[in-house]
Amino acid sequence: MPKVLRLRQKTFFYDPSGVVVVFREKAQQPMELHRHEFLEIAVVLAGCGIYTTIAGQRKIQAGDVMVVNSRHSHGYEQTSTLELANVLIREDVLREVEKDLGALPGYHSLFTLERVRRRGAGNDWHVRLANEDLRQVAGWISAIEQESHRLHEGGALLAKTWLVILIGFLARAYGKQAANSGHADMRLGRVFAAIDSHPEKPFRLKEMAKAAAMSDRSFVRHFKEATGFSPMDYVIRKRVQRATRLLSEPKPSITEIAFACGFNDSNYFTRQFRRVMGSSPRSFLALPGNQRK
């Protein structure tokens, strides 16, 4: 099997304070399969071509949007005046965005469950934008690009703000596009969204697998393949993530926070918090920037 070209993060993120980079191809030439050390949102602004992945090929045209994470390779063939706007995102930044947008089923379907999505048949592994939506998306990408050149003038924060708007829009668009598809990624995406929205609720493996229309074994395999975590470990991590936010509030006690986040025992909460965050809740509070207001 031929070696796949790997594009390094340091080549594109020349400034360590940058969170997102826009890389444009006015006339994309055929390109062999390659991978990145970052996530990429590729937006077709004009022209057409053949988009290639290890799962197969598909014709692309203006309005098509492809999402590729660092685990997968892609390339282009038979390009004809193909113009691309590539939005390159550090994966740690995407994890931050997920805290706010993970409640959207389309978010996880598009950005978390790529491997599951690519296994499915049909046309819903990417987003297809109408002309008006494409113009709007192109405008947001231009705003990201402008602010990414003003990193030390508040540009990093503003670029991230425009990025959140872009990702939120694409997640909703994908959710609408694939809502009735019945594909595994959308079923799983709804489970992810339910956990992200209310991690404090009781989640049981059999119920989650049933919601995804999978056997317990298939559900666990797909879930772990997409996230690196078992379903229950993911739930615990989301509960801890919510706890880190509540800890900055002035009133709740640690015991109250534990119960609010779905833990029935404050000692168990402390153990899980330490496992996930590397420190106890009290030690976390003592870190600079985490003190209660």
Q: What is the mean pLDDT of each run of 10 residues along the chain (293 residues)?
A: 74 82 94 90 96 87 90 90 95 87 84 62 65 96 94 89 95 78 72 91 94 91 86 95 87 89 94 94 79 59
Whole-number pLDDT of residue 12: 85
**Are residue 130 and residue 200 in the same domain, yes or no?**
no
Residues 19, 100: one domain? yes
Domain that holds residue 24: 5-177
In the chain, helix, strand, coil percent, each to 5? 50, 20, 30
Pairing of strands 31-36, 5-7: parallel
> Do 115 and 207 belong together in one domain?
no
Q: Are 44 and 81 in contact (CB under 8 A)?
A: no
CATH code, domain carrying 272: 1.10.10.60
Tell whether 137 and 269 lie within a shared domain. no
Residue 15 belongs to some domain of the structure: yes
What is the C-alpha separation between 221 and 224, in angstroms, rounded?
Answer: 5
pLDDT of residue 232: 95
CA–CA dist 263, 53 (Å, integer)? 42
- How far are the Cα atoms of 2, 34, 39, 157, 211 from residue 51, in angstroms, in the given order? 19, 12, 17, 32, 32
On whether both 211 and 142 belong to a single domain, the answer is no
How many separate domains does the chain show? Answer: 3
User: What is the predicted pLDDT for the residue at 248?
Assistant: 81
| In a shared domain, residues 147 and 243 | no
Q: Does a structural domain hold residue 293? A: no
Whole-number CA gyration radius for the chain: 20
Regarding whether 172 and 195 lie in a shared domain, the answer is no
